[in-house]
Amino acid sequence: MRLFYALLFDSATKDNLYKVQDRLEATLSKGSRTRKENLHLTLCFLGEREPSLVDTLSSLLDLLPNDSFNLCFTHLGRFSKQEGDVLWAGVSHSPELHQLHHHLLTLLKKERIPVDEVGFQAHVTLYRRARCSDLVPIHPFATEQCTIALMHSHQAKGGLTYTPLFTKVLY
């Protein structure tokens, strides 16, 4: 199973991200838009894992803090790729988000679950395989309505689907 931990957003936040996608779309010569239901912020990518690990991975959610925190989307960015860029919405620096990420990595290490510890760049992917000259400025918006989830990435109905296996609401 292809798994990852993510922050999921309320419908108002997804609506705001979708509006950013709409504005950005006018500047693209090509690109594949992330479906609204798939918009999320990856906390930790786990990759292909045995289904037998799902119970352990889901139990780690109970060990994470319950406290909600504010995320403010302030800018767009890109990861350059040969087949086309990944365009994303970035958040302003959030010590709480970075602490959550670090806590999750610590729990995974304690369980001897290896993860790739590349630098954490908090973002929400808006487009893949995109070509555009300039990124448009965005009007900053914030959210506190987040859920942490263990997600399963798979193909369904002819498209990439992210299914929450277990969730924990932050409040």
Assign domain 2-169 to a CATH class: alpha beta
CA distances from 34 to 27, 64, 70 (A): 16, 28, 23
- The predicted structure's pLDDT at residue 145: 85
* Beta carbons within 8 Å of 111's beta carbon, 6+ residues apart: 56, 60
Residues facing 73 on adjacent strands: 91, 141
- The predicted structure's pLDDT at residue 158: 78
Whether the Cβ atoms of residue 127 and residue 21 lie closer than 8 Å to each other: yes
- The predicted structure's pLDDT at residue 134: 87
Q: Is the dihedral of CA 3, 8, 63, 91 positive or negative?
A: positive
Whether the Cβ atoms of residue 59 and residue 3 lie closer than 8 Å to each other: no
- The predicted structure's pLDDT at residue 149: 98
- The predicted structure's pLDDT at residue 99: 96
Q: Which residues of the chain have pLDDT under 50?
A: none
Q: Distance from CA of residue 61 to its chain's centroid?
A: 16
- The predicted structure's pLDDT at residue 156: 87
What is this structure's pTM? 0.94
The conformational region for residue 31 under phi > 0 = left, psi -120 to 50 = alpha, else beta, is: left
- The predicted structure's pLDDT at residue 171: 86
State the amino acid at position 140 in one-letter form. P
- The predicted structure's pLDDT at residue 157: 80
